[in-house]
A and B are shown apart, each in its own frame.
Chain A
Amino acid sequence: MKSFFDKLAGSKQGAIGFLILAALILVVFPLTLDAFRLNMVGKYLTYAFVAVGLVLCWGYGGILSLGQGIFFGLGGYCMAMFLKLEASDPESTRIQSTPGIPDFMDWNQLTELPLFWEPFHSFGFTLLAVVAVPVLLAFIVGLAMFKRRVGDVYFSIVTQAIAAILTILIIGQQGLTGGVNGITDLRTLMGWDIRSHEAKTVLYFVGAFLLLACILIGRFILASKLGRLLMAMRDKEERVRFSGYDVASFKIFVFCVAAAFSGIGGALFTLQVGFMSPSFVGIVPSIEMVIFAAVGGRMSLLGAVYGALLVNYGKTVFSESFPELWLYFMGGLFIAVVMYFPNGLAGLYQSHGRKWLARLGRWRPKARRAEPVAARPAPSSTPEPTSPALETTP
């Protein structure tokens, strides 16, 4: 019988893969990158939360959500509202016609804080809302869709529509949401200046630890009976239903988990980048997030993190030189992944990387034949993603 900790670590290979990722983001990046680059990686890692959630709900659950930006945005906006309220104390807003409310509200002739902003004075409430608001919306959408057996491509279209609606709503309600500019000019978190390099480094580590925690939660889910049920539902939904399971409730659950991860990612994004705007909510960012998961490997929790890092790094490098071509390149990348490597980088590692490593292992002892020490197998250390789950799924 598997113990709780075995479930978290997965197989030996899974544990190694996890430790390599942890070492990479907790030690290698902080030691080798300057503060600016590290902050950039920190921003990429906030997208990785969404990608990890997509591995659960798309890779394993078969639910392709093209609207994860909704939840990323909701988490981000919740955090931004708290920070904005803190930045809008009566002293620093004394030149406004109504001091003490966020500046964009004043510009829009609002004279008092809207009611739904009030609870965001509390940091505790905000932390709760970062997870609860996305989960609540995911629950409502899931309930409405999955109970009626809306699935596959129809579900994807509905999520896109919701992403579009939410963007329009945020942009249209300028006085309540900051409109197209978003919520900007965020300064302190409980008096702590989040704009300094030190603060950004601390926030980077907070994000990194939370991401690793989300991966462990994901592993726990996948190692449980619920994880096997997700795969069973994806392949033989009727059989699962007629084995006595309420299929919809499992789909709602995994969709809510993905939404929770996305919300946490969004809140960290706001903290790291210092603003939140509707450009992270809509259809285009939502699809980009799916591409991160697809490139990394939709069946691999660790792969999704590498996917988010690599695609975003590519985006930064590529869009600096050829800003117009980036979107075409991104589209091409997605098509290539879907057509030629459906399991992404993690799949490539499974099919080619391992063999290559094994060959490396055989080659090494030969080179040191003179040494009397028995040949040891090559250390399977590699920055490539590894997934224990892939072994059960071709």
Chain B
Amino acid sequence: MSPTGFQSPKPVLAIEGLTVSFDGFKAVDNLNLYLDRNEVRVVIGPNGAGKTTVLDLICGKTRATAGSIEFDGRELTKMKEFDIVRAGVGRKFQNPSIYENLSVFENLEMSYPAGRKVFGALFFKRSAEVVARVEEVAAEIGLADQLHDEAGLLSHGQKQWLEIGMLLMQDPALLMLDEPVAGMSVSERLQTAELLKRISQGRSVLVIEHDMEFVKSIAHRVTVLHQGKLLAEGSMDAVQNNPKVIEVYLGH
């Protein structure tokens, strides 16, 4: 798809020597990974390769045993989860994680970056600015007509989009999506690919995905993980023709 081998002088995300071990088992082992501005990177690999763990490490859900994660000049490994979010990292979970009892509007509003502290939330006002931003994002994710429906009533695909929309509300510089098209129909996958292409303008996106057609349609570069280590990295074509990758992953 896009040109490969392109290296900007300063990556937005620089992961170096990242290691995490759970009782001696190294889920991520001495990993280096660099993500450029405006890049869409897809991480693939067999189950248990450590893909989700890498996202957990970046967003602070899991703490690294060793190594560093530098985002926009800040070291994330020691920061609190909410500070990492406020620094501009948004993360979507594998299962749609939305507030089922609240309306689509309220779900999006919840992620609006104001009133994030106790008293700020207590006296938060739904200003015209907030409403405009919610409507803008709802239009982006195709849920403008469902704004006042209860989120629990949405279809599976719409829930996935809603969670992406909740991340967009924060306008993150780095967007991380864990299997965004899992359980989606073919047409929903196409729409999601279009959505990702639109929203990746002006930000970096890190995606974990198994669906190769989808990966091909969105990835600028692909990183293959195997047993917590980097196996290959490059364009989709290069990775697909890499004998090591075929052996451990694509060949099955």
Residue in chain A with minimal CB distance to B86 = A244
Collect the chain A residues with CB atoms within 8 Å of residue B98's CB: 236, 239
Residue in chain B with minimal CB distance to A244 = B85
CB distance from A216 to the nearest CB of B (A): 14
Q: Are B82 and A241 in contact (CB under 8 A)?
A: yes
Collect the chain B residues with CB atoms within 8 Å of residue A253's CB: 118
Q: Are B101 and A250 in contact (CB under 8 A)?
A: no
Q: Which of B158-188 contact A (CB under 8 A)?
A: 163, 166, 170
Contact pick for A225, options B61, B80, B113, B115, CB 8 Å: B115
**Chain A contact patch, size range:** 20 to 34
Q: Are A228 and B106 in contact (CB under 8 A)?
A: yes
Q: Which of A62-120 contact B (CB under 8 A)?
A: none
Proximity string of chain B (223-249) to chain A, C-beta cutoff 8 Å, 1 when within and 0 when not: 000000000000000000000000000
Q: Are B59 and A235 in contact (CB under 8 A)?
A: no
| B99 interface residue (CB < 8 Å to A) | yes
| B197 interface residue (CB < 8 Å to A) | no
Q: Are B99 and A244 in contact (CB under 8 A)?
A: no
Q: Are A243 and B101 in contact (CB under 8 A)?
A: no
Docked Cα-Cα span, A241 to B100, in Å, equals: 17
Q: Are B121 and A229 in contact (CB under 8 A)?
A: yes
Interface of chain A, main secondary structure:
helix
Docked Cα-Cα span, A238 to B98, in Å, equals: 10
Proximity string of chain A (339-380) to chain B, C-beta cutoff 8 Å, 1 when within and 0 when not: 000000000000000000000000000000000000000000
CB distance from A270 to the nearest CB of B (A): 30
Residue in chain B with minimal CB distance to A2 = B126
Q: A244-B82, A244-B116, A246-B82 are in contact. Are A228 and B93 (CB under 8 A)?
A: no
Collect the chain B residues with CB atoms within 8 Å of residue A246's CB: 80, 82, 116-117
Collect the chain B residues with CB atoms within 8 Å of residue A393's CB: 101
Q: Are B113 and A250 in contact (CB under 8 A)?
A: no
| A249 interface residue (CB < 8 Å to B) | yes
Q: A224-B123, A250-B121 are in contact. Are A236 and B82 (CB under 8 A)?
A: no
Collect the chain A residues with CB atoms within 8 Å of residue B90's CB: 242
| A226 interface residue (CB < 8 Å to B) | yes
| A221 interface residue (CB < 8 Å to B) | yes
Docked Cα-Cα span, A250 to B82, in Å, equals: 13
Proximity string of chain A (142-167) to chain B, C-beta cutoff 8 Å, 1 when within and 0 when not: 00000000000000000000000000
Residue in chain A with minimal CB distance to B107 = A232
| B252 interface residue (CB < 8 Å to A) | no
| B81 interface residue (CB < 8 Å to A) | yes
CB distance from B67 to the nearest CB of A (A): 21
Q: Are B100 and A245 in contact (CB under 8 A)?
A: no
| B97 interface residue (CB < 8 Å to A) | yes
Residue in chain B with minimal CB distance to A231 = B101
Q: A231-B102, A235-B100 are in contact. Are A250 and B118 (CB under 8 A)?
A: yes
Collect the chain A residues with CB atoms within 8 Å of residue B126's CB: 1-2
Which residue numbers of B lie inside 8 Å of A, CB to CB? 59, 61, 80-82, 85-86, 90-91, 93, 97-102, 106, 109-111, 113, 115-118, 121-127, 163, 166, 170
User: When A and B form their complex, which 7 residue pairs have the shortest distance between CB atoms, in order from nearest?
Assistant: A244-B85, A225-B124, A226-B121, A239-B97, A225-B121, A232-B99, A253-B118
7 CB-based A-B contacts, threshold 8 Å: A224-B123, A225-B122, A225-B124, A226-B118, A228-B110, A238-B97, A247-B82
Given contacts A231-B99, A243-B170, 7 further A-B contacts (CB under 8 A): A1-B125, A1-B127, A236-B99, A242-B85, A246-B80, A246-B117, A253-B118
